[in-house]
Amino acid sequence: MTNRLRYYNARALLAVLLLCSCAEILAAEATTTKAPDWVGPGYEHYAVGDVTALRPRPHLPGLALMGGGEWPLEAFRWFVARAGGGHILVLRARGGDELQQEIYNDVGGMTSVETLVIHDEDAVEDPRLLAVIARADGIFIGGGDQSNYVRLWKGTAINRLLDAHVAAGRPIGGTSAGLAVLGGYVYGCLDSISLRSEDALEDPTGSGVTLVSDFLHLPYLAHLITDTHFAARGRQGRLIAFVARLAQERDDASITGLGIDEDTAMVVDGDGIGRFYNRGTGYAWLIRPLQKPAQIVAGQPLTYRRIPIVGIGPDSTLDLKSFRVTRPAFNAMADVRHGALVITPRAALQ
């Protein structure tokens, strides 16, 4: 065989391999991308499993507070067990069925998972959509931009159904933006620009500090504001600013912040006892000053002294009735002076 013939044969073989690879990629995409089961006004519906099956066990109340990133599977399995192994509903504002496939295949243990991707106000009073929410045994709110949830759901039939779901003793949870909307107070991100700690501390009354109340009404969270992706995105400062502003505006020194790190989760049972899971690292951060800032002046940086922070790890428990932490992962103190945050002892936070 001549060198030229070998060259053309090699090129032909390479072309065949590339074609096969492209075919495999397209086939993989075809198996993981699914068209909606049906489409309503301003939303899409997806489902996997048997949505007509009876729930295997009774449901129990519970909250699943997930900080974003990868889920600790044990925490999500706890959530599914609280739903009686029944029908899990994912609510989100963008995407498709990938989240429900992950829940159904990687977590398992439920009869079905449905997804409603709600992206328009025309959806919020649709009877077919509301019927899906009403029959869910467990509701999980996905990530993204929490302003979509606040703008589209607040004060609507969806809002009322979510409150009714919780009042009926059924579990609810969320990750990232879905966690951000679960507290009694919510950072609404209404300008759709994620607020930096530096900006929040520089002016806690600034236009980017969009705090929302009277949205969801969950047990034990009435005086709480949550934050997500916490240490990874340096959000300690902005949560302290949220707590400071709410404490002053509401004249309520009991306002509490709870920051949840990426790849971690806190689950809370019907008695208000929280337990923590992570994927090897990360904490929940309890920020409970029990004092109002001396003063918040519009346009001026925050000064807020001696703010205790308690770290919650896998060996800890948090009683949300009293905010008592057993076996804390760390204890620290935060000081904000003229907008500058210092947390000590830093060594305890490694």
pLDDT digits (tens, 9 = 90+) for 95-110: 999 999 999 999 999 9
Asked if residue 102 lies in contact with residue 140, where contact means CB atoms within 8 angstroms, the answer is no
pTM (two decimals): 0.89
Residue type, 232: A
The Cα 45–Cα 37 span in angstroms is 6
Residue 34 pLDDT level (bands cut at 50, 70, 90)? confident
The 3-state secondary structure of 54-81 reads CCCCCCCCEEEEECCCCCCHHHHHHHHH
Q: How far apart are CA 310 and CA 330, in angstroms?
A: 6
End-to-end CA distance of the chain: 65
39-279+294-300 belongs to CATH 3.40.50.880? yes
pLDDT number for residue 345:
75
Question: Position 242: which residue type?
Answer: F
255-281 pLDDT per residue, tens? 999 999 999 999 999 999 999 999 999
Query: pLDDT (tens digit, 9 = 90+) per residue, 52-78?
Result: 999 999 999 999 999 999 999 999 999
Q: What is the dihedral of CA 39, 43, 49, 51, to 10 degrees?
A: -80
Contact 344, 306 (CB under 8 A): no
Q: Tens digit of pLDDT for each residue in 122-161?
A: 999 999 999 999 999 999 999 999 999 999 999 999 999 9
Asked whether the beta carbons of 186 and 212 are under 8 A apart, the reply is yes
- Give CA–CA dist 111/129, Å, rounded: 19
pLDDT at 31: 35
The ranges assigned to domains in the chain are 39-279+294-300
293: pLDDT strictly greater than 70: yes
Average pLDDT of span 303-323: 97
Mean pLDDT for the stretch of residues 22-26: 34
300's tokens: 């001026």
